[in-house]
Amino acid sequence: MNQQELIKKISHKFQLADRNPSGMSASGSLSGEKIFSKHSPINGERLADIEVANKDAYNKLIEEAQQAYVIWSAMPAPQRGEIIRQIGEAFREDKEDLGALISIETGKLLQEGLGEAQEIIDICDFAVGLSRQLYGLTMHSERPDHRMYEQYHPLGVIGIISAFNFPAAVWSWNAIIAAVCGNVSIWKPSEKAPLSAIACQYIVSKVLKKNNLPSGIFTLYHGGAEQGSWLAEDERIALVSATGSVAMGKKVNQVVAGRLGKVLLELGGNNAIIVTENANIEMAVRAIIFGAVGTAGQRCTTTRRLIVHETIYNAIVEKLKHLYGQLVVGNPLEKGVLVGPLIDNSAVELYEQRIKIALAEGAVLLAGGKRLKPVGLDGGTYVMPTLLEAQPSLPSLQEETFAPILYVSKYSGSVDVAIQLNNNVRQGLSSAIFTNDMQQMERFLSNRGSDCGIANVNIGTSGAEIGGAFGGEKETGGGRESGSDSWKAYMRRQTNTINYGATLPLAQGIKFDL
């Protein structure tokens, strides 16, 4: 099935042509003016015209969300878990079509699009179990005949701002976990990936309607930076979860902090793999390739820096140069293709600009470095995965470019030298070390090791599972999403003390006799 046939099938499946893309609530038209068109990065084909919600539309969605919160938060958590279970089943039924839509819209490999759809299913499964595990804590009181405990309550309306590179999965990390905790959400997806969002909204809306639940539990509107700022400024939004650039995150954080709201930030990553003299070279090279070119280098966990011990440096570089020359760049819907397009022409321009700057700074081009025009895909936005040799002090190593550019640097001495290079950037999302030496492994994972939120041994920087909390430190924002106890970010903690006695003793032995 070619792309046009796929689009027609998917459009019918999710009623993309029949639904108002600016507001997916039951209240009718919520749109403003048509101000942007979505094109596929695969071949430049126009997929849809997207209407941007105006402020009245936004306010109407918030009102619906607030009304839905009253109903949803009153449901026992296991009952909410049952609705989430049904949502997971609905995504299972539509996995193939949603995965294909993600691929067409973002240029991801079809396997990656399907993997993203699977992530939503997995997070739903996780949330179902979580619905019976929203545990508090009990503790002993210093006062006789008193009991103390802590419990968690939902926050209210959660605002979600997501990026184009994971246009569906990151929404689910937030919206599904927040929902099982009793919250409702309003979502402003990236204007570069609106259709995947509409499809997700369509899937959850079917489940809500089937269960006679208000559509305001999950809401959606479209727009750019201005529309995203509404969430940051709005005191009715208890928590803003924002995924994207460091610059965007700093603005969101500043505005939300100004009203003493809560933020959950997942921002830039400038991730490194260390390869020590004790590494399994073949395994390391496989991880490096996937980490550096997967999703065409447009993951926040993409491997952007490679730090290799001098004794194996030449062997690693030669293997990488050979494999970079064999990478198939092209239509991500076709088998055998390993690298799809960048999201749009502006991403290609940034790729070209960053390479030019790095070369001017003294980097050496080892592979790639050019824009491509695969046969039959003239309107696409393709580039060659690029390998640059760089001194650790190269200024470009401090910058995150959302493109398949990998800087390889040499180190000598102990693993501590490599760890210092790993940490010597402003971002702190993901990191990895390849070594068969236990002391080097443990050093990397110790408090004197990697300063990133994710630190892996003998696997790459990319491809996190949903069971572990995802997020990073420093300019990455400090947020945690998905697994572990990240559900607590969407809750307010309350300490309770119950006096079941007949007297009123005070804490710390204070006497206050009337």
Tens of pLDDT, residue by residue over 272-330, are: 999 999 999 999 999 999 999 999 999 999 999 999 999 999 999 999 999 999 999 99
Cα–chain center distance at 459: 19
- 1-5, 8-12, 310-314, 402-406: segment of lowest average pLDDT: 1-5
Report residue 6's pLDDT band, with 50, 70 and 90 as the boundaries. confident
Q: In what order do the strands lie in the sheet with 137-140?
A: 137-140, 146-154, 491-499
Report H helices in 131-181. Answer: 169-180
Q: Residue 399: CB partners within 8 Å, gap ≥ 6?
A: 270, 354
Sheet holding 271-275, edge to edge: 364-367, 386-389, 405-411, 303-309, 271-275, 430-434, 454-457
Rounded Cα distance between 465 and 469, Å, is 9
Choose the catalytic residue: 300, 400, 452, 475: 300
Strands 218-220 and 157-161, sheet pairing: unpaired
Name the region of 152 (left: φ>0; alpha: ψ -120 to 50; beta: rest): beta
With b for 16 or more beta-carbon neighbours within 10 A and e for fewer, the 339-358 pattern comes to: bbbbbbeebbeebeebbeeb
Q: Residue 196: exposed, middle, or buried by beta-carbon count in 10 A (0-12, 13-18, 19+)?
A: buried
> In sequence order, what are the residues at sequence separation of 6 or more whose Cβ sits closer than 8 angstroms to the Cβ of residue 182?
72, 73, 75, 77, 80, 153, 154
pLDDT band, residue 13 (cuts 50/70/90): confident
452 carries an active-site annotation: no
Q: Compute the C-alpha angle 394/395/399, nearest 5°.
A: 120
Q: Is 300 annotated as catalytic?
A: yes
- Tokens 């529309």: give the residue: 227
H or E segment to which residue 293 belongs: helix 281-293
Q: Is the pLDDT of residue 26 over 70?
A: no
Q: How confident is the model at residue 4 (pLDDT cuts 50, 70, 90)?
A: confident
Predicted pLDDT at 89: 98
pLDDT at site 242? 98
Structure confidence by residue, pLDDT tens digits, 129-152: 999 999 999 999 999 999 999 999
Q: Is the pLDDT of residue 416 over 50?
A: yes
Mean local confidence (pLDDT), 116-123: 98
Instruction: State the residue for tokens 């995802």.
Output: 470
Tokens of residue 73, six digits: 């938060």
Q: Tell me how many helices (H) and strands (E) the chain has.
A: 14, 23
Q: DSSP string spanning 85-117?
A: HHHHHHHHHTHHHHHHHHHHHH---HHHHHHHH
Task: Enumerate domains of the chain plus CATH numbers.
Answer: 3-21+31-267+477-494 (3.40.605.10), 271-470 (3.40.309.10)
Predicted local confidence at residue 185, as pLDDT: 98
Q: Contact at 8 Å (CB) between 192 and 93?
A: no
Give whole-number Cα distances, 82 to 47, 77, 133, 211, 478, in Å.
35, 9, 14, 10, 31
**pTM greater than the 0.75 cutoff:** yes
Tokens, residue 172: 């689910």
**Is the per-residue pLDDT at 346 higher than 50?**
yes
Among candidate residues 266, 400, 475, 481, the one labeled active-site is 266
